[in-house]
Amino acid sequence: MQTLSTAQLHSMASTGDSMLVVDVRSPAEFGEAHVPFAVNHPLPDLDAGALNAEAERSGKRLVFICKSGARGRSACEKAMAAGISAVWNVDGGTGAWIEAGYPVVRGAKSFFVERQTRVVIGGMVLLGTALGAFVHPGFPGISAFFGAGLVYAGLSDSCMLAVLIASMPWNRRKPGCCA
């Protein structure tokens, strides 16, 4: 896996370098703001083989982008596990692209998966605490479970709850929504 800075990506796009830029964020995140020449293929649904075939057929370089670079790195790893060696990840992702002042396509604000995950975890910690105080002393185990999940997510840079929430129907691509 190779990395590209946002400046390199912008330069390559400006000079007409042939590349397939795949944004692996949720459709809601993609719809809110994305690189103008990116297409959306959310990480949970990513078919690396099909994308590679498309990139090879059109002679394009396969580049992944996300919010900050972590999901893009996961997409690169998924592609490499499928036997694709020529993949690039945009360092800093769309956030760095926007911060650099490059153009973006903007849409409606959305309730990101990350934010939904925080609401669920906060709600479960609050519920476990309240049930423990008023119903049974064993209920704070709910809070402990979600706290342990947060520690694991922080250490592994992987959150299974976020993956689950991303797969919910309201976070799925709507017909005709995104490229």
Does 66 participate in catalysis according to the annotation?
yes
Question: d(Cα 172, Cα 12) in Å, to the nearest integer?
Answer: 31
Q: pLDDT tens digit string along 3-45? A: 999 999 999 999 988 899 999 998 888 988 999 999 999 998 8
Planar angle of CA 21, 23, 29, nearest 5 degrees: 150
Question: d(Cα 23, Cα 30) in Å, to the nearest integer?
Answer: 7
Q: Residue 63: what pLDDT? A: 96
Classified by CATH at the fold level, domain 2-106 comes out as: Oxidized Rhodanese; domain 1 (3.40.250)
- The CATH 3.40.250.10 portion of the chain extends over 2-106
The stretches in the chain having pLDDT less than 70 are 173-179
